[in-house]
Chain A
Amino acid sequence: AQTVTQSQPEMSVQEAETVTLSCTYDTSESDYYLFWYKQPPSRQMILVIRQEAYKQQNATENRFSVNFQKAAKSFSLKISDSQLGDAAMYFCAYRRLMEYGNKLVFGAGTILRVKS
Chain B
Amino acid sequence: ETGVTQSPTHLIKTRGQQVTLRCSSQSGHNTVSWYQQALGQGPQFIFQYYREEENGRGNFPPRFSGLQFPNYSSELNVNALELDDSALYLCASSLAGPPRGAKNIQYFGAGTRLSVL
Contacts and interface: CB of A to CB of B under 8 A. Distances in A.
Contacts of B55: 100-101
A44 B100 contact: no
Interface in B18-67: 31, 33, 35, 40-45, 48, 50, 55-56, 58
Nearest to B33: A102
**Interface of A (DSSP majority class):** loop
Given A44-B108, A45-B108, A97-B100, A102 B94 contact: yes
Contacts of A59: none
B43 A43 contact: no
B112 to A, nearest CB: 10
Nearest to A45: B108
Contacts of A46: 2, 108
Contacts of A98: 99
Interface string A9-34: 00000000000000000000000000
Contacts, number: 74
Interface residues of B, number: 31
Interface string A41-56: 0111111001010000
B88 interface: yes
B110 A102 contact: no
Contacts of A95: 104
Contacts of B110: 42-44
Given A47-B105, A98-B99, A100-B96, A106 B111 contact: no
B42 A107 contact: yes
Interface string A89-103: 001010101111111
Given A44-B110, A102-B31, A109-B41, 8 more contacts: A6-B42, A47-B105, A95-B104, A101-B55, A102-B96, A102-B106, A104-B106, A105-B45
